[in-house]
């Protein structure tokens, strides 16, 4: 999905790839949801930049498929929109760095 729209197979093949370290965590302190929540983050592996997200975090991720060399997570991203928040369903296909 991109901006809430399902991608065609061609669009998916052409979609940008992002490299980083996958981090799955419980986020309990002072978050936008006002309650503990699970989130998945793709963290930059560049030295000296700290824990910088490569893409927007995935909230309430669910593991929906595991294969020999990949896993699929489904959750939602939150984006600022018109003074409020817009939640967008997102699917991550996670593979080892090559």
DSSP-derived letter for residue 84 is E
Domains in the chain: boundaries: 9-94
Q: 71 pairs with which residues across the strands?
A: 66, 94
pLDDT in tens, the chain (98 residues): 455 677 888 988 888 888 899 999 998 877 777 788 899 999 998 877 778 999 999 999 999 999 999 999 999 988 878 888 888 888 899 998 76
* Rounded distance between C-alpha atoms, residue 16 and residue 14, angstroms: 6
* Rounded distance between C-alpha atoms, residue 15 and residue 61, angstroms: 21
pTM passes above 0.95 = no
pLDDT of residue 21: 92
**Neighbour-count burial of 54, counting CB atoms closer than 10 A to its CB (0-12 exposed, 13-18 middle, 19+ buried):** middle
């Amino acid at each position: 999905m991109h901006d809430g729209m399902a991608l065609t197979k061609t669009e998916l093949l052409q979609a940008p790839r992002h490299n980083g370290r996958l981090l799955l965590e419980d986020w309990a302190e002072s978050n936008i949801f006002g309650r503990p929540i699970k989130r998945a983050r793709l963290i930059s592996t560049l030295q000296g930049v700290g824990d910088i997200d490569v893409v927007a975090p995935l909230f309430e991720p669910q593991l929906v498929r595991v294969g020999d060399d990949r896993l699929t997570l489904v959750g939602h991203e939150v984006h600022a929109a018109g003074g409020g928040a817009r939640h967008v369903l997102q699917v991550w296909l996670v593979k080892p760095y090559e």
